[in-house]
Structure 1
Amino acid sequence: MKRRTFLGSVAAAGVGAAVAPGLLAPAVAQAATYKKRVTGADLDTNSRWQVAGTDLGIPYVLENGSIGYLFGDTFNSPWPEQQNNDWRSPVMLRSAVHPGEAGGIVFDSAAKVAGNGRAPEIMHNGHNGIGIDNLWEVTVIPNDGISFPETGRQLVSYMSIEHWNPGPRYSLWKSRYAGLAYTDNGNDFVRTNLKWFNDADNADPFQMWTMQRDGDWVYVFSVRSGRQDGPMMLRRVPWEQLFDPAAYQGWGWNGSNWGWGRPCSPILNGRFGEPSVRRLGDGTWVMAYLNCATGNIVTRRANTPDSAWNNEKIQVTFAQEPSLYGGFIHPWSGAGANELHLMVSKWTHGPAGNSTAYHVSQYVGSV
């Protein structure tokens, strides 16, 4: 199975200029600290649910108030290239343990599993074949999750991967489209017919989503697939109309001011990995992503989703965690010192190109 590289050359591309002054400035160096590894062949994620080698671990609040963690390509072996490795994606583990506890994140269950047992995929995956919509699909990668206690429904944004091959603008892979899947029972996600198709140049900026609800609105931040140069866009949609593409409003610049209901304008430009945005309990908005020009996971802070984001703050460096990516914000993070909890993936390779580590760890930093 051909897989994506984690980053490519971190010096391959610079960070672009912002549309509005002050939105993109040099990073302030202050690294988060490693707390624990949360997946691996030697941990209970494998002995209980056969989740050994895996990545991402995107945390979001479930409709019952606990946390679901969305994992990408998952195997019962330590790394992807081993034979008969039971490839699955996406997979969800769950936990009601606060990440700030002394022992860190501890998983207590897996979606679609009663107790212990193999954690299956939570939605259809084409697996290097014809997918559910008669289109070629290498795999399905989750981008984020969101839930609605009013209805008991959960939604997962995902991207259908067309190929892992490098392309223009330092792209490392190409998605065919972004989509939404939902469940009303907390386990079985149904992929809807909604598709935000990528273009032939892999330049569509609505492929990798992160979602955060605030009142009646869900705010959607998105970038291109492939961790390439490009813009970050912001849209919002009433939470009851997420399945209506016409209800999405763009945040745009008309030459004199910003406003909703316009074609999207870039809120940031750069070489972005998968974005993660969360509104913390005190109302602070925090954004995290892999800055693919520097190889660091960074965060930004804002008072509202449509206000200016402050300068990048380095949380986890390439030196701390070689071949890192992700940097997904735990929604139970606080706004004070040592209260920002991040899920960080690592996929390292030896001199011969063989994998030497493929897992997710918890880091703790500050907003």
Structure 2
Amino acid sequence: MTKLTKVKDLNPHPNLPRPIGGTDLGIPFVMPNGRVGYVYGDTFGGTTQIAGGPDWRSPVIVTSPTRDMTQPIVIDGACRGGDQLWPYVHANGEFSTVLPCDVVVIGSRLYLWVMITQGLGNEKWCEIWYSDDNGETWHNGTGYATPGVGASSHWSTSAFRGQRVMMTWDRGRDGWVYAISTGGLARNKNALLWRVREDDILDPAKWEGWCWLNNQWQWKANPADHEPGDILPAGARLGEIGLRWIQGHWVFSGFDAGAY
């Protein structure tokens, strides 16, 4: 048996302009400027490790110069000083919070998939936001402005049997982005496989699902007539999924509530 030794606490982060006490997630990605970003979900202020504290915000991105994983991670910066990435009011009557799922970097642009939720396990819709300045300024790629105003092209949480809610993705280094999706925080769905050309990532009609059709697996664009099939054995009930291209291999991780 290998004995694991705790290296250090990663939070609180009291040294940021908006200090972080309690938070969750911490989804890693390499930023266009070479630093490593970590995307946080529901984040709270203060200097103690408390969830549900003051200064509720989400999503948040902190940054690190640490690229050598044999060394302790040093968090010494944050996008927007640790502020929420774009302004909105939590628990506003329409939704409670915006939870990030994953970031993919294409050229100098960051794309962030988020779930708009009304309480945990009740995802209302999804959106893709993007930033062209290393996370300082964000734009909604789905045409959504403010609650009740200018809403269009939301990514449905009921389409494809409710399995295109939580999303993880990475570049395939072949001009395509590959993605795996599942349900939301109820953790009661299997996984689906997708791909989309890097230039078309914001267009839902250009996404192709991995479908079982005519007795074979095949990619099918906008598969409204035949939905993508589960890619894992029956009984998988996923959450906290992660997909990365690492040293020539696709690596997929996740929490399987079905085998918990």
TM-score by length of 1: 0.60
Question: 1:31: Cα distance to partner?
Answer: 8.4
Q: What is the deviation of 1:160?
A: 0.2
Which residue pairs with 1:272 in the alignment? 238
After superposition, residues 263-342 of structure 1 pair within 5 angstroms as: 263-268=227-232, 269=234, 270-280=236-246, 282-295=247-260
Instruction: Assess if the C-alpha contact under 8 Å between 1:124 and 1:191 holds in 2.
Output: no
Q: What is the aligned partner in structure 1 of residue 147 from structure 2?
A: none
- 1:25 matched to which residue of 2? none
Structure with higher strand content: 1
Q: Offset at 1:291?
A: 1.7
**Alignment equivalent of 2:117, drawn from 161, 172, 175:** 161
Cα deviation 1:287-326 (Å, max 9, x = unaligned)? 111122344xxxxxxxxxxxxxxxxxxxxxxxxxxxxxxx
After TM superposition, what 4+ stretches of structure 1 lie above 4 angstroms from structure 2? Answer: 30-35
Q: In the alignment, which residue of structure 2 is the partner of 1:175?
A: 123
What residue identity is the alignment partner of 2:122? Answer: K
Shift in Å at residue 46 of structure 1?
A: 2.2
**What is the match of residue 155 of structure 2?**
196
CA contact (8 A) 2:122 2:184 kept: yes
Shift in Å, 1:96 = 2.2
In structure 1, runs of 5+ residues without a counterpart are 1-29, 114-118, 131-135, 165-172, 296-367
Structure 1 counterpart SS, 2:66:
coil
User: Structure 2 CA distance, aligned partners of 1:32 and 1:92?
Assistant: 31
Matched, 1:246 2:205: yes
Task: Give the match's secondary structure for 1:137.
Answer: coil
Structure 1 residues 197 and 76: CA distance shift in structure 2, 3 A? same
Work out whether 1:139 is the aligned partner of 2:85.
Answer: no
Q: If the length of structure 2 is used for normalisation, what is the TM-score? A: 0.84
Question: Percent identity between the aligned chains?
Answer: 28
Q: Summarize deviations over 1:68-100 as a string: whole Å, max 9, x none.
A: 110011111422334xx1111111011121252
RMSD of aligned residue pairs (Cα, Å): 2.3
Secondary structure of the 1:47 match is coil
Give the corresponding residue for 1:206: 164
- Residue 56, structure 1, aligned to residue 25, structure 2: yes
Alpha-carbon offset, residue 138 of structure 1: 0.5
Q: For residue 62 of structure 2, what is the aligned residue in structure 1?
A: 93
**CA distance change for structure 1 residues 31 and 251 in 2, over 3 Å: closer, same or farther?**
farther
Q: Which amino acid aligns with 1:96?
A: P
**Among 33, 51, 57, the residue aligned to 1:80:** 51
Q: Offset at 1:274?
A: 1.9
Structure 2 counterpart of 1:240, which letter?
D
Q: Which whole-Å CA distance do the structure 2 matches of 1:90 and 1:32 have between them?
A: 34
Shift of 1:223: 0.3
**Equivalent runs, 1:32-51 vs 2, <5 Å:** 33=4, 35-41=6-12, 45-48=13-16, 49-51=18-20
Asked if structure 1 preserves the Cα contact closer than 8 Å seen for 2:110 and 2:131, the reply is yes
The Cα of 1:179 is off from its aligned counterpart by 1.0
Deviations 1:225-277 (A, max 9, x none): 02422220011000011111111001111252111115311111411112101
Q: Which residue of 2 aligns with 1:185?
A: 133
Is the partner of 2:199 in helix, strand or coil?
Answer: helix
How many residue pairs get matched? 238
